[in-house]
Structure 1
Amino acid sequence: MENFIELMLPYVLKVQKEENISASMLIAQSILETGWGESFLAKNALNLFGIKGSYKGQSIVIRTIEYVEGEERVVSSAFKRYPTWYESIKDLVEFYKRGTRYAPIFGETDYKKACSALQQAGYASDPKYAEKLIGIIERNNLAKYDTMSGMPFPPPVKVSKPYPGELIKKGSKGMYVVEVQKQLNKLNFKLAEDGIFGAKTERTVRTFQQMKGLSADGVVGSKTWSVLFAN
């Protein structure tokens, strides 16, 4: 759970600085909406807030349960697919900016007032939405991030490819695994570029991490990605 917050911070703090909006509230929303980043949309579309539609032409279609005139129906809906978590967070804030009723949440430094203003603006139908956000903030000591003016760690090195915002580890499959395998092969490792993060890829990642003085856990997180794709 702490790792999810760590992964979120670079993106959330950037948006907080750009838009003058509570970082703790945004983190709490993402935790509540995705179950600590474990939702299908978070993993497959980097969509942290369940926003429907398409983002720059990119979307993912999933089946959901909706209520029409009181009756439960299964429908197919398109949800926005983002290139990174930053765009997901930024897109949510842009939505807030388009509605004048959300104006009170901008510039509000008291997270309790910000969460209450968000609910009063009608963002969620759950009458306990603000209460739930405040609870998440307080249990995880998120309020400390509201006073941060920048990154809580040194700026990352420039990378040739942006970090996708998700852990890439044993069992992972897809294009990001291929990118990791290709980059490792450029360093004279010999991996099949099959997009499957199996035992051999895990061992190779561990070896790379040991070479670079990183925590050798065999998982490609933000730090390993930045070093691997450093220009």
Structure 2
Amino acid sequence: MATREAFIDLVAPIAVKLRMEGSAIYPSVRIAQAILETGGKVNAWNNLVGYKVGSGILTPYWQGDRVSAVTWEVIDGTRVDNVPGDFRAYSSIELGFRDQDLFFQAARYAGVRAARDPGEQTLALQNSGYATDPAYAAKMNSIIQANNLTRYDEEVTNMLEELQAQLTALQNRVAALEGQMALEAIPQWAEAAVEAAVKAGLIDTPDHGSYDFYRLLTVLHRKGIV
């Protein structure tokens, strides 16, 4: 990956997609963490979040592939370089992120899932012990700000609002169509209004009026018009 922008362009759509599907991780945090953990370069094993093998229990997204690499850790307040570790390997970046989402279902990460904004989430990641770096949250926050990554959080918000608007419009359309559909029989609550309208010579006895038709007759009847 030649540039930081290209790295973000690659990772952002995946982060947005997973958030739309219900991931607890804000896209801005996911992208920032990937940059922090990899330096903005995609590794050959598609693990952009420093997810170690750990328990080794297989998941729907990780089938046991691993690589050995060295990293650095903060131990007793001191940075120690060249610490060996076994990391999970994936066939795609998305699988790595999905596997991480499973990992975040643990009780230990309840604060991460409950975070109400990216700042809360980066701090929760640090406090939960995801990494040993005491500046982990501050570094992610700096990356988010420097690259305007919250625009991807806003993209998700806008998309969800648009989907909600579309759903509301569809529900209203369904309700309108249901109101126009002919009923099999006169509703009991409309019988008096229909009888009054027939006696007044306004209508013939309707066998299959719509819900809206019977509702209108009932309103007119109650107002004394029918």
The SS at the match of 1:97 is coil
Q: CA deviation at 1:73?
A: 9.3
CA contact (8 A) 1:109 1:146 kept: no
The whole-number CA distance in structure 2 between the counterparts of 1:92 and 1:5 is 19
Q: CA deviation at 1:96?
A: 1.2
With over 3 angstroms needed to count, the CA separation of the structure-2 counterparts of 1:144 and 1:109, relative to structure 1, is: farther
Q: CA deviation at 1:85?
A: 0.6
Q: Which residue of 2 aligns with 1:82?
A: 90
Q: Which residue of 1 aligns with 2:44?
A: 44
The whole-number CA distance in structure 1 between the counterparts of 2:145 and 2:98 is 24
Given candidates 31, 38, 55, the residue that maps to 1:34 is: 38
Q: CA deviation at 1:50?
A: 2.0
The whole-number CA distance in structure 2 between the counterparts of 1:133 and 1:63 is 21
CA contact (8 A) 2:24 2:101 kept: no
- RMSD, matched Cα: 3.0
Q: CA deviation at 1:151?
A: 11
The whole-number CA distance in structure 2 between the counterparts of 1:111 and 1:67 is 24
Q: Which amino acid aligns with 1:138?
A: Q
Higher RCO (CA 8 Å, separation ≥ 6 residues) = 1
Q: Which residue of 2 aligns with 1:4?
A: 7
With over 3 angstroms needed to count, the CA separation of the structure-2 counterparts of 1:49 and 1:89, relative to structure 1, is: same
Deviations 1:162-184 (A, max 9, x none): xxxxxxxxxxxxxxxxxxxxxxx
Q: Which residue of 1 aligns with 2:178?
A: none
User: Unpaired runs of 5+ in structure 2?
Assistant: 57-61, 160-226
The whole-number CA distance in structure 2 between the counterparts of 1:86 and 1:32 is 17
With over 3 angstroms needed to count, the CA separation of the structure-2 counterparts of 1:150 and 1:58, relative to structure 1, is: farther
Find out whether 1:25 has 2:63 as its counterpart. no
Find out whether 1:93 has 2:97 as its counterpart. no
Q: CA deviation at 1:82?
A: 0.5
Q: CA deviation at 1:65?
A: 6.9
Q: Which amino acid aligns with 2:63?
A: K
Matches within 5 A, 1:1-231: 1-18=4-21, 19-37=23-41, 42-53=42-53, 55-62=62-69, 77-98=85-106, 100-106=107-113, 108-149=115-156
Deviations 1:33-63 (A, max 9, x none): 00011xxxx4211111222226303222335
TM-score, with normalisation over the residues of structure 1? 0.55
The SS at the match of 2:86 is strand
Determine which structure has the larger helix proportion and give its number.
2
The whole-number CA distance in structure 1 between the counterparts of 2:158 and 2:27 is 12
Q: Which has the larger radius of gyration?
A: 2
The whole-number CA distance in structure 1 between the counterparts of 2:72 and 2:39 is 18
The whole-number CA distance in structure 2 between the counterparts of 1:2 and 1:116 is 25
CA contact (8 A) 1:10 1:151 kept: no
TM-score, with normalisation over the residues of structure 2? 0.56
Question: Identical aligned pairs, as a percentage?
Answer: 35
